Amino acid sequence: MRKKAVLIVIIALSLIAFLIYKSFFIVPKSNVRIIDRLPDTSYKGKIHVLDFSKNIQLNLKEMQVPFRDFLSPDFLLEQSKKYGLNIQNPIYFFGENETEWGIIIEVNDKEKLSKGLLKIKKIFDLKDTIVNEKKLIHHAISNIKIYKQPDLILLYMGNDFYPILNKVTNAKKGDVSTSWKEFLEKPIASREKVIISNTSKEVKSIGFQEIVLSHEFDSTYFKIKTKLSRNFPINISLKNKGLSFKRGKYTNLFANIHLDITKFRNTLDESLLKFIHKLTKNIGFPIKEFINAWDGDLCILRGGFYKMNKEYFETEMNDDFNPIQVKKRKKIKVPEFSVLLTLNENKEKFFNALIKKGLLRKEGDYYYFLFSPALRLSEEGKQFIFYSGKYRTPTVENEKNKLMIEYKSNKIEFSLDSIKQNEIFGGAAFPLNPNSNPFTILKD
C-alpha cells in the first residue's frame, strides 16, 4: 500500500514539475492568424471563393460559358485540396495602386503545396530567389513573387515587396492593422461573399473617405453594389418624383437624375467641385453657373435615327451655260437625341456662359451643343426639353436615378439608390447573356 502511495506521489510531483517547466521554459507555438499578417494598404478585400462560385453558376450558364465546370465549387474545392490550399476560409487581397497587388491564401498541407509549386515551376519560367533572407519564387516578366510558409502562401505583383514580406513574416498574434480591423468589423464585410474597400488618395481627393464595392447575386446581371462614405454631410438628397424620357429599343445612352441640391448650392463642397472641374476642364463647362441655375432634374436620351429634309445649294448650268446656285432638298439621317433639364431664374446666366465658352450656339430655330445634332427647344415653366426629332420626345414619370451606357455591345447600368447624411449607395449592373458578353469590356 505504501509503495502505491509513494508511486502516486512521484507521478504527481513529476506532472507538477513538467507543468512548471512548460510554463516557464517552453515557448508556446505562435498562433498568428492570417488577418494579423495583412499589410496596411489603400485597397483591401476578401472573397469567399466557394460561396461566390456557387452564386455565379446561374450567371455562367446564362452566358453559356463553355468552361463553367472548371469554376464550379466542387471542382475548385477538389483542386485546392490537391495543392494543399484551404479555400473554405476567406481569401484576402490587397493593393496600393494599379501595379501593386497581393493575395494571401491559407495553407493546410505544406507538402502538397510544395509539390504543386514544383509542377508550376516546370510549366512557367519561375526562378528561385532570396529577399530579406526569405526564399521566394519569382516570375520576371510579370514581376510576380510567391512566398510560402506552413500556414499560408503569398502572391504579390509589384516592386514594393519588402514591407509586405516584412509584415507577413514578422506579425504577432493580435497584430491586426487598424484599417483592416475597421474594414473587417463592418457588418457588410461579414455579410458579403466578395467585398473590396478603397481608401486611396484618389478617393479622398473628391471629398470621400472610402468606397466599398461588393457583389450582389442576380440571375441575369452581374451586379456590384457601391457605398461611398465621408466624415461630413453630403448636402444632396434624392427627389421623390420627376419626369424622364421613355427608353426605346435602340437607346444606347440614357441618364435620369433627380436631385435636391438646395443645401449643396448654399454650402458648396469644394472637394467635389474640384473633382467636377477636373472632369470638365477639357470643355470648360461653366460649373458655377450651372449649379446656380440647375433645379436638380436632368434626363438624356440618345439612340436610333430619324429622317429629315435638309436644304442645300448645288451649282448647275443654266440654258446659257452660266453657273447658278440651285436650292435643293434631300433626306438625311439624324441621330435621335433629347435632353430634359429643369432650370430656375438663373437660366439666362447659364445659357450666356455656355454661348460665351462656345459650348452652345443658336442658328435660327435650332440649338447646337458641342457636336450634337440640330436641336429644337420646348420650354414649359422650369422644364426645358431639347430634342432632335420632328416631334418633342414624350415624357413619363420616373424618379429613379439611373445611367445606362452601351459599350462594346454591353448595356451597362449604374444606379444611385439612396443618400444618407454622409453616405451614398448605388450600384452597377452588367448584362449576362450569350449575345452580350461582359468579358469584352476588359479587352482593348
Among 175, 204, 233, identify where a domain stops: 175
- Same-domain check for residues 135 and 58: yes
Residues 6+ apart with CB under 8 A from 182: none
- Look at the chain and report how many structural domains it folds into: 2
Which residue is it, cell 485597397? 43
- Same-domain check for residues 156 and 300: no
- Same-domain check for residues 347 and 435: yes
- Same-domain check for residues 77 and 166: yes
pLDDT of residue 23: 47
Average pLDDT over residues 194-201: 94
pLDDT over threshold 50, residue 202: yes
pLDDT of residue 257: 95
pLDDT over threshold 60, residue 20: no
Would residue 341 count as lying in a domain?
yes
pLDDT of residue 167: 93
Instruction: Give the percent of the chain with pLDDT over 90.
Output: 46
Q: In terms of residue numbers, what domain contains 437?
A: 214-306+333-442
Would residue 269 count as lying in a domain?
yes
- Same-domain check for residues 153 and 281: no
- Same-domain check for residues 75 and 151: yes
Task: For 138-163, write each residue's pLDDT tens digit.
Answer: 888 888 999 999 999 999 999 999 99
pLDDT over threshold 80, residue 169: yes
Would residue 209 count as lying in a domain?
no
Would residue 9 count as lying in a domain?
no
- The residue ranking higher by pLDDT, 344 or 432, is 344
- Same-domain check for residues 141 and 260: no
Among 120, 153, 175, identify where a domain stops: 175
Q: In the 3-class helix/strand/coil scheme, how is the chain assigned residue by residue?
A: CHHHHHHHHHHHHHHHHHHHHHHHHCCCCCCCCHHHHCCCCCEEEEECHHHHHHHCHHHHHHCCCCCHHHHCHHHHHHHHHHCCECCCCCEEEEECCCCCEEEEEEECCHHHHHHHHHHHHHHCCCEEEEECCEEEEEECCCCEEEEEECCEEEEEECCCCHHHHHHHHHCCCCCCCHHHHHHHCCHHHHHCCEEEEECCHHHHHCCCCEEEEEEECCCCEEEEEEEEECCCCCCCEECCCCEEECCCCCCCEEEEEEEECHHHHHCCCHHHHHHHHHHHCCCCCCHHHHHHHEEEEEEEEEEEEEEEEEEEEEEEECCCCCEEEEEEEEEEEEEEEEEEEEECCCHHHHHHHHHHCCCEEEECCEEEECCCCCEEEEEECCEEEEECCCCCCCEEECCCEEEEEEECCEEEEEEEEEECCCEEEEEEEEECECCECHHHHHCC
Task: For 54-94, write each residue's pLDDT tens digit.
Answer: 988 877 877 777 888 888 999 999 999 999 999 999 999 99
pLDDT over threshold 50, residue 25: no
How far, in Å, CA of 435 to CA of 409, rounded? 8
Inter-axis angle of helices 110-123 and 73-82, nearest 10: 100
Would residue 347 count as lying in a domain?
yes
In angstroms, how far is CA 278 from the centroid of its own chain?
A: 20
- Same-domain check for residues 222 and 298: yes
Lowest-confidence segment of 125-129, 211-215, 251-255 by average pLDDT = 125-129
pLDDT over threshold 90, residue 424: yes
- Same-domain check for residues 281 and 425: yes
- Same-domain check for residues 164 and 219: no
pLDDT of residue 22: 45
Quick one: pLDDT band at residue 330, thresholds 50, 70, 90?
confident
- Same-domain check for residues 162 and 234: no
Q: Are strands 401-407 and 152-157 parallel, antiparallel or unpaired?
A: unpaired
> Which pTM does this prediction carry?
0.79
Among 175, 202, 228, identify where a domain stops: 175
Would residue 183 count as lying in a domain?
no
Quick one: pLDDT band at residue 434, thresholds 50, 70, 90?
low
Would residue 58 count as lying in a domain?
yes
Q: Are strands 366-369 and 360-363 parallel, antiparallel or unpaired?
A: antiparallel
Task: For 364-387, write each residue's pLDDT tens digit.
Answer: 888 988 878 889 999 988 999 999
Task: For 280-316, write each residue's pLDDT tens digit.
Answer: 888 888 999 999 999 999 999 998 776 666 677 788 8
Average pLDDT over residues 317-327: 79
Would residue 26 count as lying in a domain?
no
- Same-domain check for residues 158 and 300: no
